[in-house]
């Protein structure tokens, strides 16, 4: 991830228009610190994500009569 952030700086210097695509929120990791390293001239778009493992746990929990991911 830090390589990508570094690349944005070099590509901007070469005249490229850069946009970073990232997720709104994810259960696996948080990247807010890294996004602060992105230059202000680089656009950042946030989108929703789909985590298949989390979805599978949710479905299994519902099948087993639970409403949460615990257990």
Question: Can you tell me the distance from the alpha carbon of 24 to that of 12, in angstroms, rounded to the nearest whole number?
Answer: 24
Question: Can you tell me the distance from the alpha carbon of 61 to that of 69, in angstroms, rounded to the nearest whole number?
Answer: 6
Task: List, for residues 5-61, the tens digit of each pLDDT value.
Answer: 788 888 888 999 988 887 776 555 556 676 677 778 888 888 877 778 888 888 888
Q: Domain map of the chain by residue range?
A: 2-63
Given this model, what pLDDT does residue 41 score? 82
Given this model, what pLDDT does residue 67 score? 62
pTM of the model: 0.51
Given this model, what pLDDT does residue 10 score? 87
Given this model, what pLDDT does residue 9 score? 82
């Amino acid at each position: 991830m830090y390589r990508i952030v570094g690349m944005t700086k070099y590509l901007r210097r070469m005249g490229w228009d850069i946009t970073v695509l990232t997720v709104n929120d994810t259960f696996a990791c948080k990247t807010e610190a890294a996004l602060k390293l992105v230059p202000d001239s680089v656009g950042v778009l946030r989108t929703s994500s789909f985590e298949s493992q989390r979805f599978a746990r949710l479905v299994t929990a519902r099948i087993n009569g639970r409403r949460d991911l615990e257990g």
